[in-house]
């Protein structure tokens, strides 16, 4: 009701305006009684409906009772022959969205209208009926709808087709039966009928790639009248291109000529759709791009903002992958920097930043500085990101770019914006050594007056890492200690840590740092005091200048190589006993959640032997499960559990998968079995494993499964002994043995006697990757440096002809079973070389880092250079052996 | 991208950002308050721009919004992030011109509220559940006007072609007035 009160306030102003002034729901509902008059005043009825619609439109809601009352009253209006009133009736029925028992009241009226001679009635009745109907009613009216699709009146046909598109979501099986009629409508001479028919036909067939391909082939040759339909066709054609290019790598693109032809269409929307489709083609060549870029360039100088926006947005995307192709447009782009529409200006600037050359940077920066003050934060972030990548591209220009960043850092801005700037400066400091000192000072100045606790702590931490390594670390101390005096507890605590880091790393500063830390012992916050006490004691705060021991440094400032989630769960599970909590018992496995989800989604639910537990808890669950089995409890700490590997085809009688659990001296196979036959009960289920092809393994225990009823997953285990710490590999053949008993499906009772039977499973394997834990590192370069070159092993390998570079990278990553770092597992399309960083922990808790460099030649021969660093010479060699084999 | 072009909402607001008529076709704004919040942010961010001669464009919360103003009426059409801007723009132009025809060139809030039934029918004829029904202003206005209660002539006698003729006449007149 708020707006009505408000309207009263400025009555003077609005009195002459609104016919709805002072409107009230109660009064309008009273008015709705005129619908029941025996002599209908259609004009008056229309006005009341308009008022009701106005109320609904303003966000007013009707109670269930009110809505029902209005609905029933409205149904009376079907008696009137007034077309205008009828249209309002249709409208309000759609707005009221009646419940299914109410729908029945209007069904017959609407069905009558559907078969009326008046086209307007037919079209609208179809739309209303399809909107409010449910599946059962739909079968009754299906016949009429099929007729309507091929109706000679285009409005009626469109109404039926559009309703079909909506109904396909809820009743696909019914709508799919209409495809003959829809196919006929695709050939319609009416432009929009063709558009709607094409949309529906494609949705009906979208899962049938061949049919879609045929549809596109036939239509691209024929004539498509409506620009909208043409846009659809372009989308479908690019879908076909995308799917077919996966099959044939080399051949020419099937529908490229069609797309290029559309660039000369007379409708701008078609031209743009085609140009955009071309720029988004997988691995598009610059020859293919050129005509699309040319038309987009023309759009850039259009008088219509929408055209300019569309063109510059698309070119901006192209600039990320093919900067050279866009350089031709640079002159047009530069004129857009002063565009009235700020979105266009921002997109133009960022495109220029991506495509510009080194000499133009300074000029461009000057233009941007003027422009930054009057755009919104979200655009500023886009600009900052673009500047960061520019700086990495032209490291020599760091001075002007760093200046720009520090200037905008001082100006007003929200958290996200400031964070983007700080992140950019941090990245520049890391990657451009020359920029370090000036960058750190800019950050120091920023935290002197920073309202965001998060950013202050981030910067303090970063100062602690980088500051001590600079030529004059003492100059940062003042900034840091100021935080201890001026800021809130969170920032104070991290400032204390940073001070301590300087103290530990720079011996000459130690006495002074200790004085400052001692002052923090009187802080009124627990955390700050605790930190200060800890650092003073561990760093030897008795005032003498002593060399801090390496262990202490590692303890205080070493990186925690355990995922925090895992530590959290372990701490929660820990019960206070005599035994102290052991941090080495925390599993180090990084769970790649999205991957696991994808895998399980692809499988049939019944084929999943193990209950599909949430990936975050699987390792803990396995650990609990295994330690609860007495035979395996002596095996010690679980090193790694593999993902389930299917040993049966999907949809066979018995679904079995295996999880490999690796211990120091043992390997346990956990077979997850599911019985998919309702008429059977399996008893004494075991897997008989033949390890003759795995010489180093000796079977030590099996744990059979007593009973396996229908559709209830169960587990059986087999354990092997293997030489301690040795990454033994081998192949195991598996046979499922059991006693099968018939079950009466009606009673669920099993027969007394069973028959022994067996079922051949696929082989399982222990491979080298099973001994590798995926453990990521946050900063690969630091980790690499800190491991040192002592146990570095470098060698080169030829991988032979491969389908693509990314396929080769994936193969090696999977072979090693290591965690790709910093997103390096992604290979840019069309690149000829790639480097990939991997990290992991090898059995025996040995940290391993790998640098892979790949190159591919024109005949798709892939060569690889493999550099391994680890804490143990033999492990470095072992990694090379894995690849060599 | 294989999907059919779709419209997320059509808004007609007054010069203070209040609703004249709005229609939402997507679930992105489930409650009335979220709808109002969207309208408010769109209105305030576009208020100062000049969208009177040519339609303007902006991005909000991963949507593209194309808008045009006439007198004290603000017309908006919203589409998804990766929608073809020119298609959305065509819808806006269709809506804008059809309203111009239906209000006989007097495109302002007073006239729009007095003929709210026509505006609502007009929205109903442009988009159905997010799918574009018609973008040609003359056809849209023709469909709406031919059903109008208040179109003077007895309804049964007025055909679509007559309505179109009237509509065209209005268009010329409105063009001359500008």
- CB-nearest to A231 from B50, B87, B110 is B87
Bridging pattern class, strands A714-721 and A666-675: antiparallel
pLDDT (tens digit per residue) in A3-54: 444 444 444 444 455 778 788 888 888 888 888 888 888 888 888 999 999 9
Q: Does A828 touch chain B (CB under 8 A)?
A: no
Q: Does B85 touch chain A (CB under 8 A)?
A: yes
- CB-nearest to A18 from B113, B132, B155 is B113
Which pLDDT band, with edges at 50, 70 and 90, does A554 fall under? low
Q: What is the pTM of this model?
A: 0.62
pLDDT (tens digit per residue) in A796-816: 888 888 877 888 888 888 888
Higher pLDDT, A397 or A515: A515
What is the model's pLDDT at position B148?
A: 44
Q: Considering just the CA atoms, what is the radius of gyration of chain B in Å?
A: 16
What is the model's pLDDT at position A608?
A: 35
CA–CA separation, A431 vs A444, rounded Å?
A: 19
**DSSP symbols for A47-93:** HHHHHHHHHHHTT----HHHHHHHHHHHHGGGG---HHHHHHHHHHH
CA distance A231 to chain B (A): 9
Q: Distance of alpha carbon A677 from its chain centroid, rounded?
A: 38
| Sign of the Cα pseudo-torsion (A746, A752, A758, A763, in order) | positive
Q: Does A82 touch chain B (CB under 8 A)?
A: yes
CA–CA separation, A693 vs B156, rounded Å?
A: 90
CA distance A435 to chain B (A): 35
What is the model's pLDDT at position B24?
A: 93
What is the average pLDDT across A563-587? 72
What is the model's pLDDT at position A610?
A: 36
CA–CA separation, A77 vs A747, rounded Å?
A: 58
What is the average pLDDT across A199-228? 86
What is the model's pLDDT at position A324?
A: 83
CA–CA separation, A778 vs A249, rounded Å?
A: 36
Which residues fall within 8 angstroms of residue A613, CB to CB, at 6 or more apart?
A: A621
In the structure, how many helices (H) and strands (E) does chain B have?
A: 6, 7
pLDDT (tens digit per residue) in A660-671: 888 888 888 888
Instruction: Please answer yes or no on whether B117 and A85 come within 8 Å at the CB atom.
Output: no
CA distance A89 to chain B (A): 11
Instruction: Please answer yes or no on whether B4 and A58 come within 8 Å at the CB atom.
Output: no
- CB-nearest to A17 from B50, B110, B155 is B110
* Cβ contact A231:A270 at 8 Å: yes
What is the model's pLDDT at position A588?
A: 59
pLDDT (tens digit per residue) in A641-687: 888 888 888 777 888 888 888 888 888 888 888 888 878 888 888 88
- CB-nearest to A91 from B84, B121, B155 is B121
* Mean pLDDT of the residues in chain A: 81
CA–CA separation, A432 vs A395, rounded Å?
A: 7
Neighbours of A644 (CB within 10 A): 24
Q: Does B78 touch chain A (CB under 8 A)?
A: no
Using a CB-CB cut-off of 8 Å, the residues of chain B touching A19 are 113-114, 116
* Cβ contact A780:A839 at 8 Å: yes
Size of interface A-B (CB pairs under 8 A): 147
What is the model's pLDDT at position A875?
A: 80
Instruction: Please answer yes or no on whether B143 and A155 come within 8 Å at the CB atom.
Output: yes
What is the average pLDDT across A276-290? 87
**DSSP symbols for A821-852:** -TTTTPPPTT-SEEEEEEEEEETTTEEEEEEE
What is the model's pLDDT at position A607?
A: 33
Enumerate the β-bridge partners of residue A682: A708, A740
pLDDT (tens digit per residue) in B134-178: 999 998 988 887 644 444 344 444 456 556 666 776 676 666 654
Query: With 60 as the cut, is the pLDDT of residue A128 above it?
Result: yes
CA–CA separation, B104 vs B92, rounded Å?
A: 18
Bridging pattern class, strands A772-774 and B73-80: unpaired
Using a CB-CB cut-off of 8 Å, the residues of chain B touching A235 are 1-3
A547-565 exposure pattern, b = at least 16 Cβ within 10 A, e = fewer: ebeeeeeeebeeeeebbee
What is the model's pLDDT at position B67?
A: 94
What is the model's pLDDT at position B169?
A: 64
Neighbours of B23 (CB within 10 A): 16
Neighbours of A96 (CB within 10 A): 20
Query: With 50 as the cut, is the pLDDT of residue A544 above it?
Result: no
Which pLDDT band, with edges at 50, 70 and 90, does A594 fall under? very low
The CA-atom distances, in angstroms, between B77 and each of A486, B24, B53, B66 are 50, 10, 16, 5
Share of chain A above pLDDT 90, in %: 9
Most confident of A598-602, A620-624, B78-82: B78-82
CA–CA separation, A48 vs A32, rounded Å?
A: 6
What is the model's pLDDT at position A195?
A: 92
Query: With 90 as the cut, is the pLDDT of residue B65 above it?
Result: yes
A182 burial via Cβ count (<10 Å: 0-12, 13-18, 19+): buried
From chain A residues 162-221, the ones with a CB under 8 A of any chain B CB are 162-163, 165-166, 192, 195-196, 199, 202-203, 206
**Main-chain dihedrals φ then ψ at residue A21, nearest 5 degrees:** -60, 135
Least confident residue range of A164-168, A350-354, B4-8, B52-56:
A350-354
Higher pLDDT, A556 or A332: A332
Which pLDDT band, with edges at 50, 70 and 90, does B94 fall under? very high
Neighbours of A103 (CB within 10 A): 18
* Cβ contact A200:A165 at 8 Å: yes
End-to-end CA distance of chain B, in Å? 40
Q: Does B70 touch chain A (CB under 8 A)?
A: no
Which parts of A97-226 fold into alpha helices (H)?
Answer: 100-114, 119-132, 135-149, 154-170, 172-175, 179-186, 191-205, 209-221
H or E element at residue A461: helix A453-466
- Closest listed residue to residue A176, CA positions, set A125, A142, A214: A142
- CB-nearest to A305 from B1, B54, B133 is B54
Q: Which structure tokens are listed for B40?
A: 């408010």
Which pLDDT band, with edges at 50, 70 and 90, does B92 fall under? very high
**DSSP symbols for A284-332:** --HHHHHHHHHHHHHHHT-S-HHHHHHHHHHHHHHHHH-HHHHGGGHHH
What is the model's pLDDT at position B25?
A: 92
Which pLDDT band, with edges at 50, 70 and 90, does A288 fall under? confident
What length is written for chain A?
A: 885
Higher pLDDT, A829 or B31: B31
Q: Does A85 touch chain B (CB under 8 A)?
A: yes
Query: With 50 as the cut, is the pLDDT of residue A271 above it?
Result: yes
- Closest listed residue to residue A305, CA positions, set B59, B16, B6, B127: B59
Which pLDDT band, with edges at 50, 70 and 90, does A310 fall under? very high
What is the model's pLDDT at position A599?
A: 36
CA–CA separation, A109 vs A78, rounded Å?
A: 7
pLDDT (tens digit per residue) in A494-542: 999 888 888 888 888 888 888 888 888 888 888 888 888 888 887 775 5
CA–CA separation, A443 vs A440, rounded Å?
A: 5
What is the average pLDDT across A829-852? 82
pLDDT (tens digit per residue) in A743-785: 876 777 777 788 888 888 888 888 878 888 887 777 787 788 8
Using a CB-CB cut-off of 8 Å, the residues of chain A touching B59 are 343
CA distance A42 to chain B (A): 8
What is the model's pLDDT at position A331?
A: 84
Higher pLDDT, A828 or A266: A266
H or E element at residue A474: helix A474-486
From chain B residues 95-154, the ones with a CB under 8 A of any chain A CB are 109-110, 113-114, 116-117, 120-121, 124, 128-129, 131-135, 143, 146-150
């Amino acid at each position: 009701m708020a707006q009505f009160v408000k309207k009263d306030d400025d009555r003077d102003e609005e009195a002459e305006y609104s016919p709805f002034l002072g409107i009230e729901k109660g009064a309008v509902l009273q008015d709705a009684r005129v619908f029941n008059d025996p002599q209908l005043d259609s004009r008056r009825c229309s006005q009341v409906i308009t008022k009701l619609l106005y109320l609904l439109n303003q966000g007013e809601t009707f109670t269930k009772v009110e809505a029902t009352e209005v609905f029933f009253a409205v149904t009376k209006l079907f008696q009137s022959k007034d077309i205008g009133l009828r249209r309002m009736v249709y409208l309000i029925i759609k707005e009221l969205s009646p419940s299914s028992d109410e729908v029945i009241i209007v069904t017959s009226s609407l069905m009558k209208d559907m078969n009326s001679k008046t086209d307007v009635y037919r079209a609208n009745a179809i739309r209303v009926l399809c909107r409010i109907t449910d599946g059962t009613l739909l079968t009754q009216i299906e016949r009429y709808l099929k007729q309507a699709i091929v109706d000679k009146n285009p409005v009626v046909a469109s109404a039926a087709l559009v309703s079909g598109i909506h109904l396909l979501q809820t009743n696909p099986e019914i709508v799919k039966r209409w495809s003959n009629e829809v196919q006929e409508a695709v050939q319609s001479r009416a432009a929009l009928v063709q558009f709607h028919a094409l949309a529906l036909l494609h949705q009906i067939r979208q899962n049938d790639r061949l049919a879609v391909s045929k549809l596109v082939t036939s239509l691209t040759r024929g004539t498509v009248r409506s620009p909208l339909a043409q846009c659809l066709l372009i989308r479908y054609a690019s879908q076909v291109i995308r799917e077919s290019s996966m099959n044939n790598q080399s051949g020419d693109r099937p529908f490229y000529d069609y797309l290029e032809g559309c660039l000369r269409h007379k409708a701008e929307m078609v031209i743009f759709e085609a140009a955009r489709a071309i720029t988004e083609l997988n691995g598009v060549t610059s020859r293919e791009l050129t005509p699309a870029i040319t038309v987009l360039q023309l759009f850039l100088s259009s008088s219509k903002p929408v055209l300019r926006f569309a063109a510059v947005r698309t070119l901006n995307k192209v600039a990320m992958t093919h900067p050279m192709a866009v350089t031709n447009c640079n002159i047009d782009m530069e004129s857009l920097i002063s565009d009235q529409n700020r979105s266009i200006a921002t997109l133009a600037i960022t495109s220029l930043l991506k495509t510009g050359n080194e000499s133009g940077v300074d000029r461009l920066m000057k233009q941007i500085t003027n422009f930054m003050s009057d755009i919104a934060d979200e655009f500023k972030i886009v600009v900052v990101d673009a500047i960061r990548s520019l700086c990495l591209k032209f490291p020599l220009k760091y001075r002007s770019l760093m200046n720009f960043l520090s200037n905008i850092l001082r100006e007003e801005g929200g958290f996200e914006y400031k964070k983007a700037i700080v992140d950019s400066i941090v990245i520049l400091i890391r990657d451009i050594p020359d920029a370090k000192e000036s960058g750190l000072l800019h950050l120091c100045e920023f935290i002197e007056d920073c309202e965001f606790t998060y950013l202050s702590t981030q910067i303090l931490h970063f100062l602690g890492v980088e500051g001590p390594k600079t030529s004059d670390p003492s100059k940062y101390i003042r900034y840091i200690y100021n935080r201890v005096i001026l800021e809130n507890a969170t920032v104070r605590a991290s400032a204390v840590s940073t001070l301590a880091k300087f103290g530990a790393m720079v011996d000459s500063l130690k006495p002074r740092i200790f004085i400052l830390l001692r002052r923090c012992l009187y802080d009124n916050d627990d955390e700050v005091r605790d930190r200060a006490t800890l650092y003073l004691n561990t760093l030897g705060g008795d005032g003498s200048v002593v060399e801090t021991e390496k262990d202490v440094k590692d303890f205080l400032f070493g990186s925690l190589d355990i995922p925090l989630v895992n530590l959290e769960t372990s701490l929660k599970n820990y019960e206070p006993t005599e035994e102290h909590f052991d941090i080495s018992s925390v599993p180090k496995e990084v769970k790649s959640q999205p991957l696991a989800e994808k895998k399980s989604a692809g499988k049939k639910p019944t084929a999943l032997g193990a209950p599909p537990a949430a990936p975050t808890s699987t390792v803990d669950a396995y650990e609990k499960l295994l330690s609860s089995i007495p035979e395996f409890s002596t095996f010690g700490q679980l090193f790694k559990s593999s993902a389930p590997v299917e040993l049966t085809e999907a949809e066979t009688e018995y679904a079995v998968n295996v999880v490999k659990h690796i211990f120091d001296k043992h390997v346990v196979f956990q077979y997850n079995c599911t019985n998919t036959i309702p008429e059977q009960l399996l008893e004494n289920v075991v897997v008989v494993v033949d390890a003759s092809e795995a010489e180093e393994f000796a079977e030590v225990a099996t744990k059979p499964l007593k009973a396996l009823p229908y559709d209830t997953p169960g587990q059986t285990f087999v354990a092997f002994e293997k030489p301690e710490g040795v990454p033994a590999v081998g192949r195991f053949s598996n046979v499922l043995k059991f006693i099968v008993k018939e079950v009466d499906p009606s009673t669920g009772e099993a027969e007394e006697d069973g028959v022994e039977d067996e079922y051949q499973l696929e082989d399982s394997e222990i491979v080298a990757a099973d001994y590798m834990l995926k453990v990521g590192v946050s900063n690969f370069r630091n980790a690499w440096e800190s491991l040192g070159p002592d146990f570095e092993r470098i060698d080169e390998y030829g991988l032979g002809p491969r389908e693509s570079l990314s396929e080769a990278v994936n193969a090696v990553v999977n072979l090693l079973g290591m965690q790709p770092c910093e997103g390096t597992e992604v290979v840019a399309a069309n690149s000829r070389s790639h480097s990939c960083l991997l990290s992991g922990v090898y059995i025996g808790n040995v940290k391993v880092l790998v640098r892979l460099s790949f190159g591919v030649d024109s005949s798709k021969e892939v060569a690889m250079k493999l550099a391994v660093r680890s804490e143990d010479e033999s492990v470095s060699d072992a990694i090379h052996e894995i690849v060599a084999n | 991208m294989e999907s059919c072009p779709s419209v997320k909402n059509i808004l007609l607001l007054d010069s203070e950002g209040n609703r004249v008529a709005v229609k939402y076709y997507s679930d992105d704004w489930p409650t009335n308050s979220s709808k109002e919040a969207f309208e408010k942010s769109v209105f305030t961010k576009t208020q100062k721009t000049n969208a009177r001669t040519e339609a303007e464009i902006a991005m909000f919360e991963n949507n593209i919004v194309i808008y045009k103003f006439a007198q004290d009426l603000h017309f908006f059409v919203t589409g998804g992030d990766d929608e073809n801007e020119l298609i959305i723009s065509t819808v806006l132009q269709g809506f804008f011109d059809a309203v111009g025809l239906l209000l006989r060139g007097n495109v302002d809030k007073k006239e729009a509220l007095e003929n709210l039934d026509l505006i609502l029918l007009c929205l109903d004829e442009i988009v159905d559940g997010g799918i574009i029904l018609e973008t040609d202003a003359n056809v849209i206005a023709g469909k709406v006007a031919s059903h109008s209660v208040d179109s003077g002539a007895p309804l049964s006698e007025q055909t679509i072609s007559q309505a179109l003729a009237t509509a065209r006449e209005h268009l010329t007149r409105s063009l001359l007035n500008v």
